[in-house]
Amino acid sequence: MSRKGIHIERLTKRYGSGDTAFLALKDVNMHVAPGEVVGLIGPSGSGKSTLLKCLGAVIDPTSGRMTLGDTVIYDDGWQVPDLRALRRDQIGFVFQAPYLIQFLDATDNVALLPMLAGVPNDEARRRALELLTALDVQHRATAMPSQLSGGEQQRVAIARGLVNRPPVILADEPTAPLDSQRAMAVIRILNDMARRLETAIIVVTHDEKIIPTFKRIYHIRDGVTHEEAGEGRGFE
């Protein structure tokens, strides 16, 4: 896949059917260029996680169109034969909850993805440790998830989302449990990755500390998106 970013057009998502049907996404339009980090902001229940899950092929949209790079992945139906491969190879996901594997230590939670992609174990662990170091959690590298604080678990989950250097990263409230210095470190790492690897990144956040760092922001309300220029203050 060439790195041409993310396009979403007229995306809708209906949960349930009949009397209990609920239209969580009504009209979502979004574009993220390679190398760009955009913010996605909106009230609780506005559809932010739903949108990331549709784009990340975790749930099925109802209609619309989504393109990653040159590939139309969804056009009123999935257009790729292997959604699991799409998730594994193209998308780095940082979920709203960390979802770590409880019987693997911090390093192996991160190293597992490159291992699954065929990277030798030593090299996968080296990459994992490099990211854990960048996220200032290297001292907990051999701890099990149950021994980690909420913020430490979140940083391990962030490392896992980045470790395969996917062309697209979708981060759902990545900095919520972090103090402002560590939140800013996460934003710096995401911006570095975007610039160096032409990654297209969407960050869902309520975090007042990081909102001013975005150059472009999408607001979502009741399942409808609106684009706005951000302060773009950067992250130094």
Ligand X SMILES: Nc1ncnc2c1ncn2[C@@H]1O[C@H](COP(=O)(O)OP(=O)(O)OP(=O)(O)O)[C@@H](O)[C@H]1O
| Interface with ligand X (CB under 6 A) | 15-16, 22, 24, 42, 44-50, 96
Q: Which does 213 bind (CB under 5 to 8 A by kind): ligand X, Mg ion, none?
A: none
Please give the single-letter amino acid code of residue 193.
Answer: M
> What's the min distance (Å) between Cβ of 70 and ligand X?
28
> What's the min distance (Å) between Cβ of 119 and ligand X?
32
Alpha helices (H) along the chain: 48-55, 83-90, 106-116, 121-134, 150-162, 180-197
Stretch that binds Mg ion, among 42-50, 85-93, 133-141, 223-231 (CB under 5 A): 42-50
Q: Which does 46 bind (CB under 5 to 8 A by kind): Mg ion, ligand X, none?
A: ligand X
> What's the min distance (Å) between Cβ of 95 and Mg ion?
9
Quote the tokens at residue 6: 């993310």
CB closer to Mg ion, 126 vs 221: 221
Q: Which does 42 bind (CB under 5 to 8 A by kind): Mg ion, ligand X, none?
A: ligand X
The Cβ-side half-sphere exposure at 131, using a 13 Å CA radius, reads 30
Question: For Mg ion, which residue of 46, 49, 109, 164 counts as binding (CB under 5 A)?
Answer: 49
CB closer to Mg ion, 161 vs 167: 161
Widest pairwise Cα distance in the chain: 54
CB closer to ligand X, 46 vs 154: 46
User: For the stretch 206-229, what's the b/e string if a residue is b when 16 or more beta carbons lie within 10 angstroms of its beta carbon?
Assistant: ebeebbebbebbbebeebebeeee
> What's the min distance (Å) between Cβ of 154 and Mg ion?
14
| CA 139/CA 136 separation, integer angstroms | 8
Q: 19 phi and psi, to 5 degrees?
A: -65, -30
Quote the tokens at residue 52: 């990331």
Element (H, E) at 100: none
Q: Which does 16 bind (CB under 5 to 8 A by kind): ligand X, Mg ion, none?
A: ligand X
> What's the min distance (Å) between Cβ of 147 and ligand X?
27
Binding site for Mg ion (CB under 5 A): 49
